[in-house]
A = this chain, B = another copy of it.
Amino acid sequence: MKIPRELVSVLKKEKVFLLATHLNPDGDAIGSALALANALASMGKEVHVYNKDLVPEFYRFMPGNERFRTNLKKSLSKNPVLVLLDCNSPERAGLEQYSFRKSVVIDHHETEKNFGDIRWVVPSAAATGLMVFYLVKAMGLRVARDMAMNLYTAIAVDTGTFRYSNTSPEVLRASAELIEAGADPAAISECLYERWEKNRFDLLLMTLRNLEIKSDVAVMHITKNMFKKTVTKPEDTENFSNLPRMIKSVKIAALFRDMGNGFWKVSLRSKGDVNVAKIAELYGGGGHMNAAGFRTRGSLKSAKEKLLLAVKKSGRG
């Protein structure tokens, strides 16, 4: 991976940095930011790490996650260089109302707009964490244990621990080096997959009870009452759609979440080359080929019928 020379020189020359990442941060966003923060701190820089949202409970095993601040006051007073990680517009990071004297973008998502004085955007990279790994090495820095844990987690999350199609030889070789630098694959996997709170698991079981399969589409829903009964929150439903994907005949898994006032949030997950982004777009939503979503209003029954119709329109089901 070719690293822009001016990126390395800005990181070496400047003294104060504000690292920021996208709203509802995931493992790749958190891990990339923390690893780069570590690297810059080891060079004697002043580093602030920002996210508009709190680090979700299940990512708090990531070393140094307490560095994240939801407040910008202190950092802005230092006139820092902004570094956006795992996103490429100030809006995605909730920073649209601020301006910075210099800005840097490090991301693997398709560009939304041309933001950033220095832009390093590589959509073919499996994870932003992979890019930060190469960057740290290119700067001649040691990959410390905490950095290795954060970068391995970042890569693991964005490749489904090496199950998605972005699992390239490069991804595996970088991960091998990260293990040598101190990342613990089993401990990280346990933290990612085997630390569910009991009430979250109860909500999953409750949700699976209403699973219906219509041709190759699996449909489930969660009502407000189900959240209440299990004392859970919407963020607890992450990955729920993966379970019905276990079934051979299922190509699309849909989860309907009651948003109140007659609104439903619909999350779609698909297998292989089934494009759910196209289905979501029919109702003003969006996303990626295998993970997308949209919002709709109406009764649960009509919302489900709407989805099945969209699936049909897209040439499936």
A residues with CB within 8 A of B: 160-165, 167-170, 172-173, 175-177, 179-180, 185-186, 189-190, 193-198, 201, 205, 208-209, 211, 213, 244-249, 271-272
Kindly list chain B residues whose C-beta atoms are within 8 Å of the C-beta of A163. 161, 185-186, 189, 193
Kindly list chain B residues whose C-beta atoms are within 8 Å of the C-beta of A185. 162-165, 167
Q: Would you call B201 and A271 a contact (CB within 8 A)?
A: no
How far apart sit A197 and B213, CA to CA, in the bound complex (Å)?
A: 13
Q: Would you call B194 and A271 a contact (CB within 8 A)?
A: yes
User: Which of B167, B196, B248 lies in contact with A197, CB distance below 8 A?
Assistant: B248
Within the complex, the shortest CB–CB distance from A35 to chain B, in Å, comes to 19
**What copy number does this chain have within its complex?**
2
Kindly list chain B residues whose C-beta atoms are within 8 Å of the C-beta of A176. 169-170, 172-173, 176
Kindly list chain B residues whose C-beta atoms are within 8 Å of the C-beta of A249. 198
User: Which of B177, B211, B213, B246 lies in contact with A169, CB distance below 8 A?
Assistant: B177
Kindly list chain B residues whose C-beta atoms are within 8 Å of the C-beta of A169. 176-177, 179-180
Q: Would you call A194 and B245 a contact (CB within 8 A)?
A: yes
Q: Would you call A248 and B194 a contact (CB within 8 A)?
A: yes
> Would you mind naming 21 contact pairs between A and B with Cβ atoms under 8 Å apart?
A160-B189, A161-B163, A162-B162, A162-B189, A163-B185, A165-B186, A167-B186, A169-B177, A169-B179, A170-B176, A190-B271, A190-B272, A194-B246, A194-B248, A194-B271, A196-B246, A196-B248, A198-B213, A198-B249, A205-B208, A205-B209
